[in-house]
Amino acid sequence: MSKTYGEIQKDISRHFDDDRDKEMLVQWRAGEMRCSFPAFNGNRLNLEKHVLKSLAEKEDFDGFITYIHQPKKHVESFIKEEVEKYIFTSHKDKARDILKKNVEDMKQHVSQALFTATEKVKTQRGDTDMWLEEVTSSLKDDLTFDSICPENFRDINSFEFLKEEIEKGLEPIMKEMNNLSLNEMNEFRMKPDQILIDQLCKCCWVTCPFCAAVCTNTMEDHSPEKHCVPFHRSTGINGWHYKDTMELEVDFCTTNVASDGKFYPDSHSDKLLPYKKYRTAGPMFADWRITPDESKLKYWKWFVCRFQKQLEDHYELKFQGKGKIPSEWRNYRKEEAIKSLDEMYKL
């Protein structure tokens, strides 16, 4: 028994109600955020700048420690938090408007595909195979057509009627999609924050063995190119200290590698190596290119002063003796520290 027009309409329209098609809206929303949200619309350094700015504004020491020792984990949390704020607070109405517009665009696209296919079949005296080919070809990038069987359409002789029936059947489906709440969309398998994490975090996460600054290369595996960063930090931030003392190291590693000083590659080593020959200290040192210079972000000087006690408690060491914090570092205010991050983005 051949299918009725109603059954045929249902056979096609169910494809527009698939979760994968709803998740297309999530993809669209992630794309809109990637274009318009400042933290997400630039390069890797731009993202890092916004992460550091957020940490400073919150003065969140625990967040800093996570960022220093588990940078990827912290950046992923930052992306999730910013997406949550963007969608459910500051841009809540805009997110709804985007959702509605996307549903309407989809509806118009489907209607146009049905109209074009119907007109072509009528003009060229085509059959159901031609009609189905035209419709599915026009919509293949937007909708899923996994199992439409041409045999189900053999008895059709009025494509105009079929077009109207399908459009009529799509109305309640589009209405349902239009009424999706932002919370419901967050329950989809694919989420905007995960899309952005996949896009923004697929890069190198190797950290400097001295100061834990994250390599800014956008490729996960960029060998034989060395790891590098535009700005390093005070090595005490990463817990480096003078052996057999309670004194945290305060100097930046870019200063150290320009000096005549020496260091122990790890806590178990008894062999001192010149900083200038740091690459001979082992693989994790050899893979880095640390430029000897005096470029130091005010940001990290402010951080060391602002969280001196917390850092000392965390590492159970002190900024004293050879690791005493320079007095001029204490002159920097948080606003200056945040502003200094712009130097990073200009590179």
Same domain, 192 and 257: no
Q: Which residues contact 4 (CB under 8 A, 6 or more apart)?
A: none
Domain boundary residue among 178, 197, 216?
A: 197
The predicted pLDDT at position 15 comes to 47
What is the mean pLDDT of the segment spanning 50-67? 97
Same domain, 178 and 83: yes
Chain-centroid distance of CA 35 in Å reads: 12
Same domain, 160 and 27: yes
Query: 114, 92 in Cβ contact below 8 A?
Result: no
The predicted pLDDT at position 310 comes to 98
- Decide if 51 is inside a domain: no
Query: 253, 210 in Cβ contact below 8 A?
Result: yes
What is the mean pLDDT of the segment spanning 320-342? 96
Domain boundary residue among 169, 197, 225?
A: 197
Query: 204, 229 in Cβ contact below 8 A?
Result: no
Which range has the worst mean pLDDT, 21-30, 47-56, 135-144, 282-291? 21-30
Same domain, 171 and 27: yes
- Decide if 216 is inside a domain: no
pLDDT in tens, 72-108: 999 999 999 998 888 777 666 666 676 677 777 777 8
Q: 4: which 2 tokens?
A: 């009725």
- Decide if 62 is inside a domain: no
Enclosing domain of residue 160:
5-42+73-197
Q: Indicate the residue type of 84.
A: E
Look at the alpha carbons of 345, 77, 197, 220 in this order and tell me if their dihedral is positive or negative: positive
The predicted pLDDT at position 201 comes to 94
Same domain, 321 and 262: yes
- Decide if 225 is inside a domain: no
Same domain, 328 and 181: no
Please give the DSSP secondary-structure letter assigned to residue 14.
G
Query: 68, 62 in Cβ contact below 8 A?
Result: no
Which 3-state string (H, E, C) describes 219-246? CCCCCCCCECCCCCCEHHHHCCECCCCC
- Decide if 204 is inside a domain: no
- Decide if 60 is inside a domain: no
Same domain, 18 and 154: yes
> Which H or E run contains 5?
helix 5-13
Q: How far apart are CA 71 and CA 69, in angstroms?
A: 6
Same domain, 35 and 136: yes
- Decide if 57 is inside a domain: no
The predicted pLDDT at position 11 comes to 47
- Decide if 140 is inside a domain: yes
* Cis-peptide into 38, omega within 30 deg: no
Query: 201, 33 in Cβ contact below 8 A?
Result: no
Domain count, the chain: 2
Q: How confident is the model at residue 256 (pLDDT cuts 50, 70, 90)?
A: very high
pLDDT in tens, 116-126: 888 888 888 88
